[in-house]
Amino acid sequence: MTSTPTAPAVPLPAPHDMRCPFSPPPAYTEAARTSSVTRAELPDGSPCWLVTGYPEVRTVLSDRRFSADARHPAFPLFTPGRRELFARNPSFIRLDDPEHARLRRMVTGDFLVKRVEAMRPGIQQIVDDALDRMTDGTTEADLVAAFALPVPSLVICLLLGVPYEDREMFQRLSRTLLNNTSGVDEVAKAQQELQDYLGGLAAHKKEHPAEDILSRLAARDDLTLQEIASTGILLLIAGHETTANMIGLSTVLLLDRPDQVAKLADPAALPGAVEELLRHTTIVQTGLPRVAVEDVELEGTLIRAGEGVFAMLSTANRDERMFGADGRLPADEVDLDRDARRHLAFGFGVHQCLGQPLARAELQIALATLFRRLPGLRLAAPRSELVFRDDTVVYGLKSLPVTW
C-alpha cells in the first residue's frame, strides 16, 4: 500500500542551525521524525525525495533500482555546475556497474586493509612531523591549516604521486568543485584545470613511472587519459577534504568532552571511538544522490522511475532505532563507548568509500597523537566564533584556532 504525503516539500539543501553545529540541519531531522521518506525540492524547484531512516537509506544505496549514474537526465543535483561536471567526465562514483566496477577495481589494490596497515608507520611520521612544525616556537595555531589539512593531503599525494608543492592549486580547485554556490563556468574551469593537471602528470608518469597510483594507472593500456584523470581527481579530492574535515570537527567534539579523551590513549578503544566520531559527525552533509530507474515502494511511499532521491547519511546515523538502543546515550550524543560500527558515514552499497581503511588509519593516528602530545589543547577563540562550512558537500570548519 502506498500513500501520498501531504506535508510541504523540504527545500534542499537545508542549512544547519549554528546553535547546534554538530546536528544535521533541523529540516532533515524534522522530516525524519515524521517519516523515513519525505517530499523534497531542489534549488531549481524540481521535486525529489529525501530518505532519512537507517534501513531505508541502506536500501536506497544497495538496491540496483536506484542508479548512481549522474548522466541520467533526472539525476538530482543541487547546481547546474555539478550537472555540467558529471556529464563531462564522470568518475566511477557517478557511474553504475559494470562501468563503475571496472574503473573502481583499477585502484582497490591500493586501499587493501593490510596495505593500509603497513602504511601506519609512515602516516605516524607524517602526523608527528606536522605537529613538530605546528608547535615549533609557538603555542597557538589554526589546526585546520597546520594539521587537519596537511596530514591527509600529504598521504594522498604520496599515494597518488601528486607533488605536495601543488597543494594550494588543488585544494583551491577542489573547494570550488565541492561548493554548492559555485557557478557553471567556475566549476567547468576548475574541473578542466584539475583534469589537465592530473592528465599531464599521468602522461609524464607513463614515460617516467614511479611507485604510485597515477604511474600504475598510466601504465595500463585499457584506460583513457580522461579515465585516469577523473579517477585521480576523485581520489585526490576524496582523499584530503573528507579526512581533513573529520579531524577538525572531531577535535572540537573531543575538546568539549575531556572525560572521553582518555579513550584515544587506549589502543583497544581507539578504533571504536573513531567509528563513533564518524557516525556522529557524518560529514557528507548533502546526502548521496540517486535516481530511481524502476518504480520502488519504500516505507509505504511509491518512488517512481525517473524520480530523484537523496539518501541522508546524517539522519540515518542518528536513527534512534539503530544507535540509541541497549541502554546507551541517545543517538544525538557522542558516546565513545557506543558500538557504532554499523554507521553509514562511508555510504553503503557498491559505492561505499573505497578509501575507508585509509581514513580510519589516518583518523586514529592523527587524533590519538594530537591529544597525547598536546594534553593542554583548547580553543583559542570563543566557541561562537568558529566558522563552519555549511555550503559544501563535505561539512567542516573553515579554521580552528587552538592553543596548548
Partner 1 sequence: MQVSVDRDRCCSSGLCATNAPEIFDQDDRDSLVRLRQTVFLPSQFADLRLAAELCPSGAITVTEDIGTTPTQETDTAR
What are the residues binding partner 1 (CB under 8 A)?
Answer: 61-62, 101, 104-105, 108-109, 111-114, 341-342, 346-354, 356-357, 360
Q: Give whichever of 338 and 389 is closer to partner 1, judged by the CB atom.
A: 338
* Nearest distance from C-beta of residue 108 to partner 1, angstroms: 4
Q: Give whichever of 5 and 272 is closer to partner 1, judged by the CB atom.
A: 272
DSSP 284: B
* Nearest distance from C-beta of residue 104 to partner 1, angstroms: 7
* Nearest distance from C-beta of residue 53 to partner 1, angstroms: 17
Q: Give whichever of 106 and 173 is closer to partner 1, judged by the CB atom.
A: 106
Q: Where are the alpha helices (DSSP H) in 63-220?
A: 80-88, 99-104, 113-118, 120-135, 143, 150-160, 167-178, 184-207, 213-218
Q: What is the largest CA-CA distance in the chain?
A: 67
* Nearest distance from C-beta of residue 347 to partner 1, angstroms: 7
* Nearest distance from C-beta of residue 102 to partner 1, angstroms: 12
* Nearest distance from C-beta of residue 313 to partner 1, angstroms: 13
**What 3-state class would DSSP assign to 402?**
strand
DSSP 305: T
How many beta carbons lie within 10 A of that of residue 95, not counting itself? 22
Q: Give whichever of 233 and 274 is closer to partner 1, judged by the CB atom.
A: 274
SS3 string of 27-52? HHHHHHHHCCEEEEECCCCCEEEEEC
* Nearest distance from C-beta of residue 352 to partner 1, angstroms: 4
Q: Give whichever of 120 and 341 is closer to partner 1, judged by the CB atom.
A: 341
Contacts of 384 (CB under 8 A, 6+ apart): none
Burial class (CB in 10 A: 0-12, 13-18, 19+), 185: exposed
Q: Give whichever of 20 and 112 is closer to partner 1, judged by the CB atom.
A: 112
Q: Give whichever of 78 and 346 is closer to partner 1, judged by the CB atom.
A: 346
Closest CA to 66 of 278, 349, 396: 349
Q: What is the DSSP string of 316-373?
A: HTT-HHHHS-TTPPPTTS--TTS--TT--TT--STTS-TTHHHHHHHHHHHHHHHHHH
